[in-house]
Chains A and B, each alone.
Chain A
Amino acid sequence: MEKMSRVTTALGGSVLTGRTMHCHLDAPANAISVCRDAAQVVVAGRSIFKVYAIEEEQFVEKLNLRVGRKPSLNLSCADVVWHQMDENLLATAATNGVVVTWNLGRPSRNKQDQLFTEHKRTVNKVSFHPTEAHMLLSGSQDGFMKCFDLRRKDSVSTFSGQSESVRDVQFSVRDYFTFASTFENGNVQLWDIRRPDRCEKMFTAHNGPVFCCDWHPEDRGWLATGGRDKMVKVWDVTTPRAREVHCVQTIASVARVKWRPECRHHLATCSMMVDHNIYVWDVRRPFVPAAMFEEHRDVTTGIAWRHPHDPSFLLSGSKDSTLCQHLFRDASQPVERANPEGLCYGLFGDLAFAAKESLVTTELGRKPYAGDRRHPIFFKRKLDPAEPFAGLASSALSIFETETSGSGISWFVDTAQRYALAGRPLAELCDHNAKVARELGRNQVAQTWTMLRIIYCSPGLVPSTNLNHSVGRGSSCGLQLMSSFNLKEMAPGLGNETWLDRSKGDTRSDTVLLDSSATLITNEDNEETEGSDVPADYLLGDVEGDEEELYLLDPEHTHTDEPEYVLPQEAFPLRHEIVDTPPGPEHLQDKADSPHVSGNEADTASLAPVDSFSLISVSHALYDNRLPPDFFSTLVRDMLHFYAEQGDVQMAVSVLIVLGERVRKDIDEQAQEHWYTSYIDLLQRFRLWNVSNQVVKLSTSRAISCLNQASTSLHVNCSHCKRPMSGRGWVCGRCHRCASMCAVCHHVVKGLFVWCQGCSHGGHLQHIMKWLEGSSHCPAGCGHLCEYS
């Protein structure tokens, strides 16, 4: 508290100077009020009633109004107010219901002037008319407001709020005859001082008591109210129905509210419970206080701006028995400490992002750079309609939706239904599945299938004498792939893949950024060509050479350290993610030391979409290296794990089934089982029972295939004797009759039997289907209208 700066303000003739300071009172304060000259402040409480002079460095006690031997309850003040026209005139509201006026000009020690004992209950608030010298208004717990003329002994008029208790009364600053009163039941009433019979206007402002209100010093119809519901609301009461203009949510019940002078949108609040701070709010920015004063150690009970035209001095009294002068300049500003941006994921993967509007708009026009990962641009930006008005501190809320959430399901179903998993040679299965994947726009998957085909079929199936031919096939495959890589097809496909990729973390989202940004596609293309060109160059330079020579070409790579081997060549840190099948190159690097390195490289290169030039080099490479198929098994294993981790368990399981024994032994039994169960679960959720059954059947894992073996028996009763049939399902052991006759062909049905649920006749599936195509009646002639669906 000692950092205090000094402020001098010139206001008309008078000059205000001061610093943040406080002084100790003898007792807790209940209310404070400032004299018109801004040089004195009066503090009132249950057992304190004093006037302090505000000097430059300190408060100086000037007058103690609490005199007399035995202080009466009349001095137990709930509220105090200093007349804004007359420097000598004060009024207090006592907890016992008495309204007292004080004349500081009296020569005697006792300055008490008049005593009004008309209220039956505690008087909560007193208010002087801003311009009229003799008019005083009081609001009491008994539900009445009384207007006193100080020249008379008793009240001029009484206003009944028809409610339990009045919490605040305030004369309008602008309208001579109007005053506002707030009530414990949450209502606010506007009265014309000349019409005590009924109020002009009434509206419910808060849920629970409205503790305070304050008229805006300049805006004619603006009234701020604060309530126990922790809200400050600003009302425009000029309209026939009071309209809520602003609403500020605070963290505790609002005990006092005061507009800040000269700042149209600022108001100060303090709380009655729990929270000891004083806040100054900009009503247009209702979530963060503009300034905060944290001096008090107990609840603040009274606040007052020192001068009606000076926005920098705030005085406050508190239950902790201190009187404070706060300087706006010394206030802490929560805004500076707050995080100005917010980011949150929704339940369905939507992303909401709030930031300063200026920040967002500039970013929209800017290309996202690699370091900025907050805007994955495959998200659609949608402006929230409830976006705050444009003000000095408005922010924009953007909600990003995942575009592909719909198609994310359909591809799964399509794939599941169309994949071929068994019953054909491996090559055909791979080709078929690749085609399916490609048609669904999932190029990465398609390529994986093709790759698998090459890995497991080409070398094994093709005899060495026929290598040329096989290379031709391989290259045609590559070409086919390449043609599929035109950009238009790629965009939606990428959408699909990136949707899965999101969970993959930073490295993957880099790829996403590059892949999907249209501006970078060409660049990427170049990169990719480069990426494949480089190994091709190697191969061209030294096709027959073994790895030693290869390395020797570049002096930098005498160390066989794997990352150095690649990165300097590329000068593109993102290179590896660009290649569509990450396991490939990764594996390649792992095996950099192996004797088969060149062949390996060639293989990858052939899969990348490259020009025919490099393809030729690739095919050359293939000649020279005969690879045992199980050489790739770790690679494939990694690939499967990769897919499974991405959430594409479908791919993992499909490959597992198609490849069968070729990879099964390389993969952890438990992982396999886990994939199977997840995939089966997914299939069943999509009601793909047949596919799921096929998967179960084809699975090699015991735990999975026994799923099909459980509860397979179907218990049947004989249709004649109603006994359960044991043993054979088609002949009843008791009545020796054939139980399930086909209603169409009158033969015993062994196998698929279909019943009508209505008449319980049935027969061979095919027969019934055929019959019902022609007729809608039951084939048994029972007259039932059977339906087959």
Chain B
Amino acid sequence: MNRGGSSPSAATNYLLCTNCRKVLRKDKRIRVSQPLTRGPSAFIPEKEVVQANTVDERTNFLVEEYSTSGRLDNITQVMSLHTQYLESFLRSQFYMLRMDGPLPLPYRHYIAIMAAARHQCSYLINMHVDEFLKTGGMAEWLNGLEYVPQRLKNLNEINKLLAHRPWLITKEHIQKLVKTGENNWSLPELVHAVVLLTHYHALASFVFGSGINPERDPEIANGFRLISVSNFCVCDLANDNNIENASLTSNNFGIVDSLSELEALMVRMKRLHEEREDEEASQEEMSTRFEKETKESLFVVPGDTLHSFPQSDFEDDMIVTSDVSRYIEDPGFGYEDFARRGEEHLPTFRAQDYTWENHGFSLVNRLYSDIGHLLDEKFRMVYSLTYNTMATHEDVDTTMLRRALFNYVHCMFGIRYDDYDYGEVNQLLERSLKVYIKTVTCYPERTTKRMYDSYWRQFKHSEKVHVNLLLMEARMQAELLYALRAITRHLT
């Protein structure tokens, strides 16, 4: 693995050349190791994605229309497994990056960088560093937060909170930002920034959750590739060093297991469906189930991964972090379980009191026109997307499963639905899946291929991508709701 070598060298290039990036771009051709797997994703075999792609004219059209980079990047390729969704995703992303909006273009990309940096998502950082420079951003800013205007720096606090503990955002944070002064944010600007931040936090989840590979440069011809300013490290994504092995093992153990797992899940879904009619869970029980679930998510620490990977992995992590950390402050700040034992009790967010449909939408749309419709369509799309299949089975109503996934993510952020029986989560989502969900939404940078492989072994990759989309959107909505609620409170 020469990755340890490549990443610091890229970093030094970068550091050296921030002021003379022309030179860097022309002269620095460095041999760089190829990603471990080919194709857009490290988790998904290339042919799965590519097969789907070649057929799809629609995707190409969408990319032409809405892509900012003008080419089919890996994210788009993986998402194109769900073309319906891809359209609304690209449209909203294009709108927030390129269309009318209160923030100048370089700002938007820099905010994206800041957001992605919270999760050390170098893929997104690379992408947006390029775009940032292309849209006329000051190269100097890329040296880190100390070099950006105070105004952008002020965004750091809510970036941090939104990324890891959105429930801590209060109207005071908002007030601090919009308070008149030299570096104040106007509300429309702030909403735009919040939308960008949440979008890129969530997208980072998707990138890690689906093991998106770094972009390969088109001019890869003779084994050389052009290192652009932004390359910190080419392949820090796949924290999993032994992907081949992992996939081998996953293939080896328990095909029988997984088959029965699937059957069991189907049975449980069916039973739940029927039970609803007869069994009446006592109200008290219902209300405690949520707390139980939030509490339980405490134990679903991706801790088991700690053991399964050599220490070196995390050292690598540290290296990467040092690269990325110039865009963030307080890198130690991370997700903390919502319902932490023994600490002061935070009020749960009652979903019915501040819903996206009723409240969030109106506020967003008022301050940053039209984004509301695009996000609305995206949320709606991901929530209702179904092919009525589950692995090998057809004609399955997966509503229950989708809802469980969505609500479980919200649950981890302390958002509670009165009309949801959180007991369902326990029955429908197996432990390995919960681990995966928690990792992807809360500590996406720790996601490994093993986690990805270990749940729902019978399911198709496209279905797992669907899961990732759900997680991503649920996370984005949760963050948005907290941020928008704070803004609403500031307004009233």
Is A208 close to B, CB under 8 A? yes
Q: Mark B128-161, 1 if CB is under 8 A from A, else 0.
A: 0000000000000000000000000000000000
CA distance A96 to B353 in the complex (A): 12
Is A673 close to B, CB under 8 A? no
CA distance A335 to B353 in the complex (A): 34
Contact B419 A209 (CB under 8 A): no
B475 to chain A, nearest CB (A): 21
Contact B419 A95 (CB under 8 A): yes
Given A96-B418, A228-B362, A297-B492, are A72 and B357 neighbors across the interface (CB < 8 Å)?
A: no
Given A46-B353, A78-B352, are A274 and B287 neighbors across the interface (CB < 8 Å)?
A: no
Contacts of A117 in B (CB 8 A): 280
Contact B418 A76 (CB under 8 A): yes
Given A46-B353, A95-B352, A297-B492, are A121 and B419 neighbors across the interface (CB < 8 Å)?
A: yes
Is B350 close to A, CB under 8 A? yes
List residues of A (122-147) whose CB comes within 8 Å of B's CBs. Answer: 122, 141
B236 to chain A, nearest CB (A): 41
Contacts of A46 in B (CB 8 A): 350, 352-353
Partner of B358, one of A73, A119, A273: A273
B286 to chain A, nearest CB (A): 6
Contact A97 B419 (CB under 8 A): yes
CA distance A209 to B359 in the complex (A): 12
Give me the 6 closest cross-chain CB pairs, A-B, nearest first.
A72-B283, A95-B418, A273-B362, A96-B418, A122-B419, A95-B352
Contact A122 B352 (CB under 8 A): yes
CA distance A605 to B286 in the complex (A): 102
Is A276 close to B, CB under 8 A? yes
Given A78-B352, A297-B492, are A96 and B358 neighbors across the interface (CB < 8 Å)?
A: no
CA distance A255 to B286 in the complex (A): 29
Contacts of A255 in B (CB 8 A): 358
- Residues of B at under 8 Å CB distance from A? 276, 280, 283-284, 286-287, 350, 352-353, 357-359, 361-363, 366, 373, 376, 384, 418-419, 488, 491-492
Contacts of B361 in A (CB 8 A): 208, 228
CA distance A74 to B353 in the complex (A): 15
Closest to B277 in A: A118
A to B CB contacts below 8 Å, 10 in the list:
A73-B286, A96-B418, A121-B419, A122-B352, A209-B358, A252-B362, A273-B488, A274-B366, A274-B488, A276-B492
CA distance A184 to B492 in the complex (A): 26
B476 to chain A, nearest CB (A): 19
Contacts of B363 in A (CB 8 A): 273-274
- Contacts A73-B418, A273-B359 given; 18 further ones with Cβ under 8 A? A70-B284, A72-B283, A76-B418, A78-B352, A94-B418, A95-B350, A95-B352, A95-B418, A96-B418, A122-B418, A122-B419, A141-B419, A184-B357, A228-B358, A228-B361, A253-B362, A273-B363, A299-B492
Contact A74 B283 (CB under 8 A): yes
Is A490 close to B, CB under 8 A? no
Contact B283 A73 (CB under 8 A): yes
Is A298 close to B, CB under 8 A? yes
CA distance A333 to B341 in the complex (A): 55
A interface size (C-beta, 8 A): 34
CA distance A132 to B384 in the complex (A): 38
Given A96-B418, A122-B352, are A272 and B283 neighbors across the interface (CB < 8 Å)?
A: no
List residues of A (65-98) whose CB comes within 8 Å of B's CBs. Answer: 70, 72-74, 76, 78, 94-97
- Residues of A at under 8 Å CB distance from B? 46, 70, 72-74, 76, 78, 94-97, 117, 119-122, 141, 164, 184, 208-209, 211, 228, 252-253, 255, 272-274, 276, 297-299, 320
Closest to B363 in A: A273
Closest to B380 in A: A164
CA distance A72 to B288 in the complex (A): 11
Partner of A272, one of B358, B373, B492: B358
A45 to chain B, nearest CB (A): 10
Contacts of B280 in A (CB 8 A): 117
Closest to B360 in A: A273
Among B276, B352, B376, B384, chain A packs the most CB atoms within 10 A around the CB of: B352
CA distance A18 to B107 in the complex (A): 57
Contacts of B358 in A (CB 8 A): 209, 211, 228, 253, 255, 272-273
Contacts of B488 in A (CB 8 A): 273-274
A270 to chain B, nearest CB (A): 13
Among B284, B363, B384, B419, chain A packs the most CB atoms within 10 A around the CB of: B419
Contacts of B384 in A (CB 8 A): 164
Contact B287 A73 (CB under 8 A): yes
CA distance A253 to B384 in the complex (A): 24
B376 to chain A, nearest CB (A): 7
Closest to B492 in A: A298
Contacts of B373 in A (CB 8 A): 208
Contacts of A74 in B (CB 8 A): 283
Contact B286 A272 (CB under 8 A): no
CA distance A228 to B350 in the complex (A): 21
Contacts of B492 in A (CB 8 A): 276, 297-299, 320
Closest to A118 in B: B277
Partner of A209, one of B352, B357, B366: B357
Closest to B373 in A: A208
Contact A120 B276 (CB under 8 A): yes
A509 to chain B, nearest CB (A): 40
CA distance A168 to B209 in the complex (A): 39
CA distance A407 to B352 in the complex (A): 66
